[in-house]
Amino acid sequence: PGGRVDCSQVACVALTFDDGPNSSTTLQVVNALNSQNIPATFFMLGSMAQSNPSVVATIAANPRFEIGNHSVNHPNLTTLSSAQVSSQITSATATLTRLSGRRITLFRPPYGSHNATVDAACRTSGQAVILWSVDTLDWQNRNAATTTAKAVAGAKAGSIILMHDIHPSTAAAVPGLINQLRAKGFVLVTVSELLGAPVAGRTYTQRG
């Protein structure tokens, strides 16, 4: 359904939103995206999804949105045992699958922190390890104009842009940020559209 984008031919960029969903700013982000029919990928925490099942359902109901795994409760996975790492990944997968009806094929490690244990657990769970190439530092600056400027200045063909849908400043940034990226000729896509068919257990920071 809809026009499939060929990211080998056009300048694609993927917006990604981590650490939600919540029932306020996440819905603001969703509304901003929907009003311009823009796809995005949400890397959800199992704990947040569990607390906000209707928001997960709202996102899952839109085929333009992709849902990825961001662990149960955001530990630094490299400090955990292999059993604990597996539990963080499989438990969040179970929650997200149950609440969204989607197959979960992408994992973003909290803090981008991963090692061979994390990668092996992702491979077993059928999930690619998705990092980013543009960090808006939205969690730190908490400023819509700064977040927008970092996203737009950093974006290149194939970029994965990191943001967090739990901050009001980020939600406020989304409409303008979309306009500026499109004005520069970028086509916004999901992470899976950007990467083609990402391989489970392999790490990606951008396309190519």
- List 18's β-bridge partners, or say none: 43, 164
Catalytic residue from among 70, 114, 164, 167: 164
- β-partners of residue 40 are 65
- State whether the Cα torsion 118-98-102-160 is positive or negative: negative
Concerning whether 135 is annotated as a catalytic residue, the answer is: no
Closest distance to Zn ion from the beta carbon of 6 (Å):
30
* 18 belongs to the binding site for Zn ion (CB under 5 A): yes
- Give 110 or 158: the residue with its C-beta nearer to Zn ion: 110
Check binding of 165 to Zn ion (CB under 5 A): no
Q: Is 164 a catalytic residue?
A: yes
| 19 touches Zn ion by CB under 5 A | yes
Stretch that binds Zn ion, among 75-83, 106-114, 120-128, 175-183 (CB under 5 A): 106-114
DSSP 206: B
* Min separation Cβ 164 and Zn ion, Å: 7
Q: Is 200 exposed, middle or buried, given 0-12, 13-18 or 19+ CB atoms closer than 10 A?
A: middle
Q: Which helix (H) or strand (E) holds 163?
A: strand 160-164
Residues 18, 19, 119, 165: which is the catalytic one?
18
Nearest to 177 by CA among 4, 5, 17, 8: 17
- Report, in Å, the least distance between residue 183 CB and Zn ion: 29
Chain residues that interact with Zn ion, rule: CB under 5 A: 18-19, 110
Residues carrying an active site annotation: 18, 164
